[in-house]
Amino acid sequence: MTFEQELIFVFRILIAGFCGAVIGYERSKRKKEAGIRTHIVVALGAALVMVVSKYGFFDVLSMHEGVSLDPSRIAANVVSGISFLGAGVIFFRDVTIKGLTTAAGIWATAAIGLAIGAGMYLVGIVTAGMIILMQYIMHKYLSRMDAPVYETISVTYEGIPDGIERLKSLLQERGIKIDSTSFAKNNDGTFTVTLEVYHRKNASYTDLWDILSENPHIKKFSI
């Protein structure tokens, strides 16, 4: 293998790393679990694996006649193996699952790295651009079509809870729907009301904080 050929392979790996960085930057701006560094490493590693899988065994073929190799095997193992890394950014919080889109992005970044490592520059770069465009459009313009956001509202009252119905109506006015309600009596005599709610991503709690703060019977609250 000549030095010029190896430079071409390095160039492929660099392009894959750049595509991974762009995808990771979008995830990082959204404050997701896997950001720029993770996506760069995934893309670089996948591109290197593809280069080794496709070109790293020419010496074996030249030294042993009749030997046949399947370059797709290593690439296939990358596709399945990267799933374990993606599973690491998926976690369950309260009543909702977080990290699915980021996990899918890591898997797609690995595929982009494999494509560029194989010399399919246009396919890899265009796919990276499509992922970024899809993420941007879905987040900015089509968030209503996405899955609802699940959250937990906890309010601690001094004495008997007062104004629960008022709180429920305030939430409904803001497009926030209640999934379940639970009550608990604390050791200090206070009562904690926990509401499991869900809403679309354009719902706002901004003025709700002020309303809860003005209630003298509320000791503390969290969303």
| CA pair distance 95, 149, nearest whole angstrom | 10
Q: Each residue of 44-88: pLDDT tens digit?
A: 888 888 888 887 766 665 566 666 667 677 777 877 777 777 677
- Which tokens is 128 given? 């990276």
Instruction: Report whether pLDDT(145) > 60.
Output: no
Instruction: Report whether pLDDT(222) > 60.
Output: yes
If one compares 12 and 149, the residue with the highest pLDDT of the two is: 12
Per-residue pLDDT at 15: 92
Out of 113, 145, 177, a domain closes at 145
Per-residue pLDDT at 90: 66
From residue 41, give the alpha-carbon distance in Å to each of 46, 78, 167, 188, 208: 8, 13, 47, 51, 42
Contacts of 80 (CB under 8 A, 6+ apart): none
Residue 161 lies in domain: 149-222
Instruction: Report whether pLDDT(194) > 60.
Output: yes
If one compares 143 and 206, the residue with the highest pLDDT of the two is: 206
Helix, strand counts (H, E) of the chain: 8, 6
| CA pair distance 162, 109, nearest whole angstrom | 51
Q: Is the dihedral of CA 83, 88, 94, 96 positive or negative?
A: negative
> Are 188 and 127 contained in the same domain?
no
Beta bridge partners of 153: 195
> Are 81 and 175 contained in the same domain?
no
Task: Calculate mean pLDDT across residues 130-150.
Answer: 70
| CA pair distance 47, 1, nearest whole angstrom | 18
Does the model's pTM come out above 0.75?
no
Task: Calculate mean pLDDT across residues 190-194.
Answer: 86
How many domains is the chain partitioned into structurally? 2
Per-residue pLDDT at 219: 81
Out of 114, 145, 176, a domain closes at 145
